[in-house]
Amino acid sequence: MFTLQKLRNILNSPKLAALFVGLAILMIYEIQLVAILLSVFILLGILFTPYMLYVLFIHDKKDWFYGFFIWMGTAFLVRYMMGSESEITAYISEGIPFLFFLMYCFFLNQKVGEWLINQSKSY
């Protein structure tokens, strides 16, 4: 049930990529709508994170497991250091942790593909 292949399928979803591209396009035109969509995506990321970490832990990928906490800690540190002197800076800094999460998922997706190839070769 909690397999690397299932994690790979979630991370590699074309629908998910299309949603993020759509969000980037909307960001140019509708600030309020983007704020709502960004909130929804952040909520989805929060809901997905325990599953992702559980799969990494049970497959003994502890470097990636602990790396997640270091990476996200760095994201929140960057957000804190940016401050929020102006409205634009505050708006941008809200998305920093989410962007770090997306980068982590991108790199993890690449690595899960390698793990699956290595797994299939060992059988």
pLDDT digits (tens, 9 = 90+) for 78-107: 888 877 777 777 767 777 888 899 899 989
pLDDT digits (tens, 9 = 90+) for 36-64: 777 888 888 899 999 999 999 999 999 99
Range of the structural domain that residue 78 is part of:
4-117
Q: Which residue has the higher pLDDT, 111 or 122?
A: 111
* 63 vs 108: CA distance, rounded Å: 11
> How many domains, in total, are found in the chain?
1
Please indicate, yes or no, if residue 122 is contained in any of the structural domains. Answer: no
Classify residue 111 as left (phi > 0), alpha (psi -120 to 50) or beta. Answer: alpha
pLDDT of residue 23: 66
Q: Tokens 């804190």 belong to which residue?
A: 80
pLDDT of residue 98: 85
Please indicate, yes or no, if residue 96 is contained in any of the structural domains. Answer: yes
Please indicate, yes or no, if residue 108 is contained in any of the structural domains. Answer: yes
Please indicate, yes or no, if residue 20 is contained in any of the structural domains. Answer: yes
Helix axis angle, 87-122 to 31-58, nearest 10°: 30
Burial tier of 112 (Cβ tally within 10 Å: 0-12, 13-18, 19+):
buried
Burial tier of 64 (Cβ tally within 10 Å: 0-12, 13-18, 19+):
buried
Please indicate, yes or no, if residue 81 is contained in any of the structural domains. Answer: yes
Please indicate, yes or no, if residue 105 is contained in any of the structural domains. Answer: yes
Please indicate, yes or no, if residue 14 is contained in any of the structural domains. Answer: yes
* 50 vs 82: CA distance, rounded Å: 28
Residue pair 34/23 in contact (Cβ under 8 Å)? The answer is yes
